[in-house]
Amino acid sequence: MKKLLLLFIFVVQSFAALSVEELTWDNGDTLLKFLQRNSIPMSLYYGLDREDQELASDIAYKIKYQVLKDENNNIEQVLIPISDDLQIHIYKDKDRQYTLAFTPVSYQKEDRILHLTIKSSAYQDVYEESGSSTLARAMVRAFRGSINFRNIQKGDEVTLYYEQKRRMGKLWGDINIKMAMVEINKSAREVFSYNDIFYDRDGKELESFLLTKPVNYTRISSPFTTARYHPILKRYRAHLGIDYAAPTGTPVKSAGKGVVTFIGTKGGYGNVIQIKHDSGYMTLYAHLSRFAKIKNGQKVNQGQVIAYVGSTGMSTGPHLHFGVYLNNKAINPASVVKIAKSELSGKAKENFKHIIAGYEQIVKEALASNQPNPPKEEDFENYIEF
C-alpha cells in the first residue's frame, strides 16, 4: 500500500518542491535493505552500536512511515516509528550528509475519566461513548484477569481512569488504564495498573497470562525499557523486549498458540521467528542458533519447540530476545507473561497503596461532581509530520 500525500512545501531559499510519501513497512524488510534501496550509505546502519542495531531491527511490520523527497526524488528525510515513544530519523545534516538518530516522538499526555451505565455491552458502550476502539480494547485487557464480560448486564456501571497520548491533535499510540471499576449488581470490582501489570486493591496480581515463558532461562539479562534518555551517551535508548540468558541450544517454545508469520533473519536480531496470536498479539524470538522443523504459515501450539537459543545477529552471548507486540507496537512482556512474583510486598506494596489511594480520590471526586465524559474522539490514523 502506497499513499502519496503530495504535500508540497515550498522551501524559501530554493523554492524546491518537496513531497511527503506515507509508506507501509513490509514484512521482512530491514533498515539495511531500506538504505540500500534508496542509495543511502549503509554505514549509517553499520555505525550503530549493538543495542541500536537491535533496536533498528524492531521496525514493526505494517507500521506507517514517512519519507520526504526533493523534486529529483532524492530522500531528504525519513521518519520510522519504533514504538509509541521512539522513532528513527534519517536526515541530511548541514554538510548534506545523511545522518541517523533515534529521536523521541513528541506527544502530550492526558488523564481522562469515562463513566457510563451499560446499555448493550461494555465494549460497545465504551467504544460508542469515547469514539476510541483503543480504549475499549484497553478495558478488556484491564479486566481480563478478574471479570467475565458476560456477567456485565444492562444497568451495570463502568468507570475508567486512563492516560492517553495526543499528537498533532489526534490520539496517538496505546492507552494506559490506571484504574478500572465495574459495578455489577451494585457490587464494585476494581483493578489498578502498576508497572504495566494489573492488581487488585491488595496488590495481588490479577493473573490472566495469555502467554507462557518461552525458555528455561538462567537469568533475565536485560528487561524491557521504553525510550529513555541516556545522559552519558547523550541519546535515547530503549530495549523493546526481555533478554533471557540461556545456553546455546536451549529449546525455545512458542509463548502461545498461533501462526508462524516470519522465519528468517532480521538485521541485528539475527535468526528470528515471529508468531501471530489472537486479539492482535504477536511474539518475536531473536538471536536463535537454529530453527525447529517449522514453516512460515504453520500453526503452532503453546509450548511447542520452535527453535534453539543462540547468539546470531548483534549479540554479546547466547540469550533469547523475546518481544511481545500488540497491534504491531512493542509492549512490556511482563504484562502478558508471568515474570515476577504475583503479589506486591514491602516497599513496592507501600508505593502501590499510595498510588491507588490517589487514583481513587481523583475518580471519587469526578463521579461526585458529575464531571462529563471526555469529548468523543474521531477515528484516526497515526500520522507523523516532519
Nearer to Zn ion, 165 or 321 (CB): 321
- Would you count residue 243 as binding Zn ion (CB under 5 A)? yes
Residues 307-346 that bind Zn ion (CB under 5 A): 321
Least distance between Zn ion and beta carbon 264 (Å): 18
Stretch that binds Zn ion, among 113-121, 163-171, 243-251, 363-371 (CB under 5 A): 243-251
Q: Find out whether 275 and 300 touch, Cβ atoms under 8 Å.
A: yes
Give the residue from 243, 248, 331, 269 showing the smallest Cα distance to 50: 269
Least distance between Zn ion and beta carbon 239 (Å): 6
Question: Nearest-CB residue to Zn ion?
Answer: 321
Residue count at the site for Zn ion (CB under 5 A)? Answer: 2
Q: Find out whether 88 and 80 touch, Cβ atoms under 8 Å.
A: yes
Nearer to Zn ion, 178 or 321 (CB): 321
Nearer to Zn ion, 221 or 298 (CB): 221
- Would you count residue 58 as binding Zn ion (CB under 5 A)? no
Least distance between Zn ion and beta carbon 168 (Å): 31
Least distance between Zn ion and beta carbon 113 (Å): 37
Stretch that binds Zn ion, among 27-35, 63-71, 242-250, 347-355 (CB under 5 A): 242-250
If 0-12 CB within 10 Å is exposed, 13-18 middle and 19+ buried, where does residue 178 land? buried
- Would you count residue 287 as binding Zn ion (CB under 5 A)? no
Residues 6+ apart with CB under 8 A from 368: none
Give the residue from 16, 15, 37 showing the smallest Cα distance to 26: 37
Nearer to Zn ion, 144 or 321 (CB): 321
Nearer to Zn ion, 76 or 243 (CB): 243
Q: Which cell numbers hold the place of 213?
A: 515463558
- Would you count residue 85 as binding Zn ion (CB under 5 A)? no
Least distance between Zn ion and beta carbon 232 (Å): 20
Q: Find out whether 98 and 92 touch, Cβ atoms under 8 Å.
A: yes
Interface contacts to Zn ion, rule CB under 5 A: 243, 321
